[in-house]
């Protein structure tokens, strides 16, 4: 699975939130600065080419529906991220965030509690 560009991720987030939509609906749902309609249409066509969305024709318009869930994409992206930057070690990733003070002791304790509760 290809990593998405920032513009593609923004479009996909909107498509996931809408559970599919026409380009105009996706555009209206985007957060922050909105790209021109034609730019977004091209971005969505790229997403279709990459297999992230499929188009369903309605009269003269196409509605785009996700072919992969947000959870599936996040899981694949995180696995690649950990592999690329932390030698495939989640322990090294957590250690990095603790050292950089991006993860507090309290948050780390909450994570440990989540792990313990999942095991029981």
Residues 4 and 52: their CA atoms lie apart, in Å, by: 10
Please state the domain count of the chain: 2
For residue 11, being part of any structural domain is answered with: yes
pLDDT digits (tens, 9 = 90+) for 33-91: 999 999 999 999 999 999 999 999 999 999 999 999 999 999 888 888 888 889 888 88
Residues 120 and 109: their CA atoms lie apart, in Å, by: 17
Residues 71 and 44: their CA atoms lie apart, in Å, by: 19
Task: Please indicate, yes or no, whether residues 15 and 52 belong to a single structural domain of this protein.
Answer: yes
- Domain with 39 in it: what CATH number? 1.10.10.10
Residues 95 and 79: their CA atoms lie apart, in Å, by: 17
For residue 41, being part of any structural domain is answered with: yes
pTM: 0.75
């Amino acid at each position: 699975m290809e990593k998405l560009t920032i513009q593609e991720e923004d479009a996909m987030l909107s498509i996931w939130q809408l559970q599919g939509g026409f380009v105009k609906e996706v555009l209206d749902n985007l957060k922050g600065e909105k790209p021109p309609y034609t730019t977004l249409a091209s971005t969505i066509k790229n997403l279709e080419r990459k297999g992230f969305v499929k188009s369903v024709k309605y009269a003269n318009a196409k509605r785009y529906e996700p072919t992969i869930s947000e959870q599936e994409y996040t899981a694949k992206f995180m696995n690649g991220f950990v592999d690329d930057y932390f030698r495939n070690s989640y322990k090294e990733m957590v250690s990095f965030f603790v050292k950089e003070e991006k993860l507090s002791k309290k948050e780390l304790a909450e994570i440990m509690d989540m792990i313990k509760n999942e095991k029981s």
